[in-house]
Amino acid sequence: MQEVNQNLSLTHLNDQGDAQMVDVSGKSQTLREAIAACQVRMTLATFTAIAAGNAPKGDVLGTAKIAGIMAAKQTSNLIPLCHPLPLGKIEVNLIPDAELPGYQIRATVVTKAETGVEMEALTAVSVAALTLYDMAKALEKSMQIENIRLLSKTGGKSGDYSVKELK
Amino acid sequence: MQEVNQNLSLTHLNDQGDAQMVDVSGKSQTLREAIAACQVRMTLATFTAIAAGNAPKGDVLGTAKIAGIMAAKQTSNLIPLCHPLPLGKIEVNLIPDAELPGYQIRATVVTKAETGVEMEALTAVSVAALTLYDMAKALEKSMQIENIRLLSKTGGKSGDYSVKELK
Amino acid sequence: MQEVNQNLSLTHLNDQGDAQMVDVSGKSQTLREAIAACQVRMTLATFTAIAAGNAPKGDVLGTAKIAGIMAAKQTSNLIPLCHPLPLGKIEVNLIPDAELPGYQIRATVVTKAETGVEMEALTAVSVAALTLYDMAKALEKSMQIENIRLLSKTGGKSGDYSVKELK
Amino acid sequence: MQEVNQNLSLTHLNDQGDAQMVDVSGKSQTLREAIAACQVRMTLATFTAIAAGNAPKGDVLGTAKIAGIMAAKQTSNLIPLCHPLPLGKIEVNLIPDAELPGYQIRATVVTKAETGVEMEALTAVSVAALTLYDMAKALEKSMQIENIRLLSKTGGKSGDYSVKELK
Amino acid sequence: MQEVNQNLSLTHLNDQGDAQMVDVSGKSQTLREAIAACQVRMTLATFTAIAAGNAPKGDVLGTAKIAGIMAAKQTSNLIPLCHPLPLGKIEVNLIPDAELPGYQIRATVVTKAETGVEMEALTAVSVAALTLYDMAKALEKSMQIENIRLLSKTGGKSGDYSVKELK
Amino acid sequence: MQEVNQNLSLTHLNDQGDAQMVDVSGKSQTLREAIAACQVRMTLATFTAIAAGNAPKGDVLGTAKIAGIMAAKQTSNLIPLCHPLPLGKIEVNLIPDAELPGYQIRATVVTKAETGVEMEALTAVSVAALTLYDMAKALEKSMQIENIRLLSKTGGKSGDYSVKELK
């Protein structure tokens, strides 16, 4: 599950150790996809309340989903060294998990660009989770957003990456 | 550590179940503080590389910190039902944790306003962590952002909240 | 229904005719509310499709509503001479109107500030309507957004304003 | 004047009825243009005042025009499921119409991209109209923004679209 | 003309040398004003062209002015450690200076807040100047933006500040 | 050092003198680079304080650098008639200059696009300089940002441009 680049140079740091944006202008545009995930853990009472209150109109989950999609489009404004990219597809899903209890959140982002969209997918799940927290925080402040992680990336010359998860 | 509001109504949903922004215009301005935290877990190799590469100029941590501060100011643009608020103070710290291995991230936000700044503090630690991920992802894609949570909030009529953590 | 200021000076223009932002720094903060409205007219086929497709999860209307709320918070970034204001409440509703056929959109914005929130309410209904158009434009490009107007404003020394509408 | 897609599926809704962004990453880039329009209706007194006050420097119309151009560039940040696109040209014009009385507003947007720019053109006329309202609202609050509509779109595989208008 | 604080601590750096936002939440709101200035130097040919081309509609100067006003509202999003503030007034003027040749730009910003608006005024003149450069750069790329500086600030406990300029 | 276009038409003004965005949709994408520069002049006392206070963590310069990079990505949102562009590389450097005394700031921006990135490079140095001012203004308000200028541009059919500077 762990992938470590043995060439231990931080590509965002130049020779003097200063932060810098990696130059991607010479790379060719290829189709790239990234999938990220996280989960929001809460008490059973909160989980039940969201399920019940949400039933008629689905607004908690719908709002969190829209927030995640819109946040993916803000990624390069939030993460200082991210490149602004055209985005072909952003999909965010929140899946109830009664065992957690809480919600599993998944985001898939696709682009045809010179660099990947890992940060866009990670930003989408993070903001969807923060929005879920915001909408339920009057019920419970002890909710936790857990395990924001990259599930897979494809496309690009650095090779594909994929986490093996049971679920 | 868990606080559950027994009056299980979602204040962001109105009677019809639609999403809505809570009306705070009639509340008085009081001094409010919120502290949030999370951690970024990585391999020892990545942790060592950041420590070494970061030594001369501190740019990985410095960049993540600035990103967290700037993101706190974007909270109401990211979280759909958050109120735009003046912010009196935003502080973000990244503390190396060799046992994790990785980084502990803390954010403190202070305002004098009609409503609290929990979401600003949670957004700050989230984006600081995403930025750390971005700057080290060429080394390791399996890093995880863990346990984004509210440590405490003070001020406001709903009462103070505080998590008891050993650390 | 029409209110015309007989003192025909454009307060956004200074003596030389240049655009300027009105100085509100000397005004006192009072509670202010503005309500705006518009409608989106479509064919019966489109109206029926939205009603049907929307039934299970309510996403067309839910998405338009969230877009309207978030746009109200962007008003001072979109309208050059608008003042950035704290906003205490933003409410957006989309009401199906089978006779139109289409949707009636209403937005209410409340603030405690030195100047009013008419533009925030008007921006909210406009962007909610544009979002509805976006989500249904694959069905029909001839939809029209009609009669974006201020229904009422209260608070502030310029006096209250209210449109008398039958509906 | 009306175009209705007989295949009544809302492409922004997936099989479960959730809101989603349409995947355009597999489409090829083609030159696309969209033209939108609306009008701002006002009293003759307001129309005359804008004409007179505006004469020396043209700021009301100039400001509204700039606001419309800048808003077109914010479209994907305002409309949740719009794709961020490069924009090759944005043109906004405000034409006085003494018969209305008021202003006719037209926007043309051109891109070379995987999807069209209808929403960018519609957003441009909407925000130009809102800005005109803002700059003249001290004179008259009963102004109305009318008939925001798509006049034409060209380029893209879904075919061209054009409204037949007398004017 | 120079004011040097003999207590040579950088208030944006905490004890560990990290960047931080100064806490202003305990300060009281007072009326504050800041005036900033700069100039854009160009060849006589460019100056003459702007004067001539600008005559009928004033768009070069009008566009630069609007850009400066809108940029002032973005200050806290651009300058990492600036506080988001309500702004009561923003005024930007571009004055032709045939001797330079070029334009003198002045911005005045007023707020009632816990901290000053020097950065808002400086940002306004900077972006107005950049916009002027953008609109004339097809004529001359060697234009220079010179002497962005604070002319005065009033209000706040750190005392007033004023530059003595001959002009 | 001065380049003047003898064809004295302002390409941002159309035949009627209105501001307009130049249509670049028919141009082909080529690799383009722009380099801009400016300097921040301060007293020796301020220069010494920044050098000393900055030594342990480099935050003043690091923060200004990040602000410059992030601002380059906001260029088309700040400058009304700039085209939104993908950016392949943004590099910002602040070099201490004891003779000034103060800092020399340089920014290099690279894109593969239909139009150039002069404004992005100029915006980057401007905001980096404004950030430096902000972080040191408690020490000295009389700092000046000087000579914001384009050093070179390459790529594009209008030809290369380069300033001959001694330094």
Cβ pair F87:A83 closer than 8 A: yes
Which of D43, D67, D80 has the CB atom closest to C131's CB atom? D80
Assess whether pLDDT exceeds 60 at residue D4. no
Nearest to E120 by CA among C66, C118, F49, F133: F133
> Which residues make beta-bridge pairs with B19?
B13
What whole-number distance in Å separates Cα of residue D54 and Cα of residue D39? 18
DSSP secondary-structure letter at C104?
E
- Contacts D66 to E, Cβ<8 Å: 62-63, 66-67
Q: B83 among the known binding-site residues?
A: yes
Top residue of E16, E21, E27 to mutate, by most chain B CBs within 10 Å, is E21
Which of B4, B53, B146 has the CB atom closest to A17's CB atom? B53
Cβ pair E84:B87 closer than 8 A: yes
Tokens of B20: 């809505």
Amino acid (1-letter code) at residue A60? V
The number of CA neighbours under 13 Å toward the Cβ of E56 is 8
Predicted pLDDT at D1 = 37
Q: D120 among the known binding-site residues?
A: yes
- Contacts A70 to C, Cβ<8 Å: 70
pLDDT tens digits, one per residue of D86-119: 899 999 999 999 999 999 999 999 999 889 999 9
> What dihedral do alpha carbons D13, D14, D20, D22 form, nearest 10°?
-90
Predicted pLDDT at E82 = 95
| Interface B:C, Cβ pairs < 8 A | 47
| Interface B:E, Cβ pairs < 8 A | 48
Top residue of A74, A77, A112, A114 to mutate, by most chain D CBs within 10 Å, is A112
pLDDT tens digits, one per residue of D121-138: 999 999 999 999 999 998
Predicted pLDDT at E157 = 77
Cβ pair F58:B58 closer than 8 A: yes
Give me the active site residues of A, please.
134
Q: Is residue E112 part of a domain?
A: yes
Q: How many domains does chain E have?
A: 1
Predicted pLDDT at C17 = 63
Which chains form contacts with chain F, at 3 or more CB pairs under 8 Å?
A: A, B, D, E
Chain centroid to CA F72: how far? 8
Assess whether pLDDT exceeds 50 at residue B166. no
Q: D82 among the known binding-site residues?
A: yes
Percent of chain B with pLDDT over 70: 84
- Contacts C70 to A, Cβ<8 Å: 70
Tokens of F33: 């680079």
Q: Are C127 and D79 in contact (CB under 8 A)?
A: yes
Cβ-based neighbours of D138, under 8 Å, separated by 6 or more: C5, C9, C10, C11, C12, C158
pLDDT tens digits, one per residue of A51-85: 886 533 348 899 999 999 999 999 999 999 999 99
Report residue C18's pLDDT band, with 50, 70 and 90 as the boundaries: confident
Q: F81 among the known binding-site residues?
A: yes
Q: B38 among the known binding-site residues?
A: no
Pairing of strands C102-113, C89-97: antiparallel
- Contacts E63 to D, Cβ<8 Å: 62, 66
Tokens of B12: 């962001």
Q: Is residue F102 part of a domain?
A: yes
Q: Are C140 and D3 in contact (CB under 8 A)?
A: yes
What whole-number distance in Å separates Cα of residue A97 and Cα of residue D10? 28
Nearest to E73 by CA among E33, E109, E112: E109
The b/e string for F55-89 (b: 16+ C-beta within 10 A; e otherwise) is eebbbbbbbbbbbbbbbbbbbbbbbbbbbbbbbbb
Q: How many CB atoms lie within 10 A of CB C27?
A: 15
Average pLDDT over residues F56-84: 89
Which secondary structure element, helix H or strand E, spans residue E68, and what is its range?
helix E59-72
Q: Tell me how close the Cα of B165 comes to any Cα of chain F, in angstroms.
A: 29
What whole-number distance in Å separates Cα of residue F65 and Cα of residue E79? 11
Report residue F18's pLDDT band, with 50, 70 and 90 as the boundaries: confident
Predicted pLDDT at B60 = 86
Tokens of D159: 């075919």
Which of F11, F19, F147 has the CB atom closest to E59's CB atom? F19
Q: Tell me how close the Cα of E92 comes to any Cα of chain C, in angstroms.
A: 8
DSSP secondary-structure letter at F157?
T
- Contacts B22 to C, Cβ<8 Å: 89
Average pLDDT over residues F138-162: 92
pLDDT tens digits, one per residue of F77-106: 999 999 999 899 999 999 999 999 999 999
Which chains form contacts with chain B, at 3 or more CB pairs under 8 Å?
A: A, C, E, F
**Cα–Cα separations (whole angstroms), residue C10 to C91, D53, D55:** 30, 7, 12
Report residue D59's pLDDT band, with 50, 70 and 90 as the boundaries: confident
Which of D62, D67, D70 has the CB atom closest to E59's CB atom? D62
Which of D62, D63, D67 has the CB atom closest to E57's CB atom? D62
> What dihedral do alpha carbons D5, D6, D11, D12 form, nearest 10°?
70
**For chain E, what is the mean pLDDT?**
87
Cβ pair E59:D58 closer than 8 A: yes
Q: Which of A140-144, B75-79, E15-19 has the lowest mean pLDDT?
A: E15-19
Q: Is residue E125 part of a domain?
A: yes
Give the length of chain D.
167
Top residue of E65, E89, E114, E120 to mutate, by most chain C CBs within 10 Å, is E89
Percent of chain D with pLDDT over 70: 84
User: Could you tell me the CATH number of the domain that includes residue D40?
Assistant: 3.30.70.640
Q: Is residue E55 part of a domain?
A: yes
Cβ-based neighbours of F109, under 8 Å, separated by 6 or more: F33, F34, F72, F87, F89, F90, F91, F117, F120, F121, F124
Cβ pair C141:D133 closer than 8 A: no
Predicted pLDDT at D10 = 63
pLDDT tens digits, one per residue of D27-45: 888 999 999 999 999 999 9
Active-site residue F18, yes or no?
Answer: no
Q: How many CB atoms lie within 10 A of CB F117?
A: 32
Percent of chain C with pLDDT over 90: 62
pLDDT tens digits, one per residue of E49-71: 898 865 333 488 999 999 999 99
The pTM score is 0.93
Q: Tell me how close the Cα of F160 comes to any Cα of chain D, in angstroms.
A: 22
Q: Is residue E17 part of a domain?
A: no
Report residue C53's pLDDT band, with 50, 70 and 90 as the boundaries: low
Name the closest residue on chain B to residue A18, using Cα atoms: B59
Top residue of E60, E66, E93 to mutate, by most chain D CBs within 10 Å, is E66
- Contacts B116 to C, Cβ<8 Å: none
Average pLDDT over residues F96-121: 95
| Interface A:B, Cβ pairs < 8 A | 237
Which of F70, F126, F140 has the CB atom closest to E2's CB atom? F140
Domain interval for residue F80: 30-157
Q: Is residue B22 part of a domain?
A: no
Give me the active site residues of D, please.
134
Which chains form contacts with chain A, at 3 or more CB pairs under 8 Å?
A: B, C, D, F
Q: Is residue F11 part of a domain?
A: no
Name the closest residue on chain D to residue C3, using Cα atoms: D140
Cβ pair C84:E65 closer than 8 A: no
Most confident of A156-160, C147-151, E43-47: C147-151
Q: Is residue B12 part of a domain?
A: no
Which of F53, F143, F148 has the CB atom closest to E145's CB atom? F148
Assess whether pLDDT exceeds 90 at residue C154. yes
Q: Tell me how close the Cα of C79 comes to any Cα of chain B, in angstroms.
A: 16
Report residue B55's pLDDT band, with 50, 70 and 90 as the boundaries: very low
Nearest to B117 by CA among B139, B85, B140: B85
Assess whether pLDDT exceeds 70 at residue C37. yes
Assess whether pLDDT exceeds 70 at residue F10. no
More confident residue, F159 or F153: F153
Report residue C166's pLDDT band, with 50, 70 and 90 as the boundaries: very low
